[in-house]
Amino acid sequence: MGKTVFVFSGQGAQVPGMGKSLYDNSAAAKAVFDMAERIRPGTLHQCFEGTKEELSVTINTQPCVFAVDLAAAAAVAEKGIRPDYVAGFSLGEIAAIAFAGMLSYDDAFRLVCKRAEVMDQAANEQKGAMAAVMKLTPAAVEAICSEFRQAYPVNYNSPAQTVVAAAENEIDALCAKVKEAKGKAVKLAVSGAFHSPFMNSAAAAMEEYLRTVELRSPEIPVYSNYTAQPYAGDYKSLVAAQVNHPVKWQTMVENLVQQGADRFIEVGVGKTLTGLIRKINAEVTAVNIETKEGLDALQ
């Protein structure tokens, strides 16, 4: 019997109106959204009626995407579908550890709000940019980054897609180098160079904040962005470290498949992770759930 994984969307997937269908049609999803609104008034308005520009601001993006992720997972669980494993991409990892029982939903939402605040602050202190590199191997991307003073591979998404972070004044030259190497680079509409040393101050602030939070052992194995393995040892250091270290998404998915996972349900906004999973392993089933229609079709 194959195993099911819930994968939680990350920052960048946000769209105006996200989560409204779930809010209107699932009591479990509505409860998550109402929790978020109670702690951070205005969250519902931003999710359901906010503009693309408003949702692109980190301090708005992270709480809103987190709320949709967790609401979607709650709605799927409400149908009686439970995962054998959970994993989240970047921000999505906080939703994953909450769903796995490591934090109460309230505490996890407050943690996300803090994470957004310190990452936004770090992004304003050190101007950086990000670009998705396609058609080149991770090793080729690493070699290109090594030619620059401040350029780092930060999201190992699939065999042919690696996201890089770089200083704002180096990103255009880096993209030109990618083109020279017969690759394709697309600059991302993000406000900072996430998952890189540009976020060192944010990771330190997260470590400090996490001293005030109790993390329980997971009820469901959670795969870590930082190690690409199940959470073990110092949980808090794993949560903080993923802020300024690469997301090892491809390795995480490969490790999950080795553990028998053959169905991946992307809970949250968009189909980004679903697409990446299919590129990593074409034999597994990957679907995304962000609306009532998707929920109704899920067996």
| pLDDT per residue as tens digits for the range 128-171 | 999 999 999 999 999 999 999 999 999 999 999 999 999 999 99
CATH class, domain 3-124+196-297, is alpha beta
Residue 90: helix, strand or coil by DSSP?
A: coil
Domain pair 3-124+196-297 / 127-187, same fold: no
Range scoring the smallest mean pLDDT among 35-44, 189-198, 211-220, 233-242: 189-198
The half-sphere exposure of 119 on its side-chain side, counting CA atoms within 13 A, is 29
DSSP 218: P
Average pLDDT over residues 108-126: 95
Mean pLDDT score, 240-254:
97
The domain ranges of the chain are 3-124+196-297, 127-187
Residue pair 77/28 in contact by the 8 Å Cβ criterion: yes
Give pTM, 2 decimals.
0.94
Write the single-letter amino acid at 59: I
CA end-to-end distance (rounded Å), the chain: 15
Helices and strands counted in the chain (H then E): 14, 9
223, 229 Cβ separation under 8 angstroms: yes
Name residue, tokens 């470290």: 241
137-143: which pairs have CB atoms within 8 A and are 24 or more residues apart? 138/162, 140/181, 140/183, 141/178, 141/183
CATH class entry, domain 127-187: alpha beta
Tokens 């808090």 found at: 236
Catalytic residue among 195, 196, 224, 245: 195
Catalytic residue check, 90: yes
Q: Which of 90, 158, 191, 224 is catalytic?
A: 90
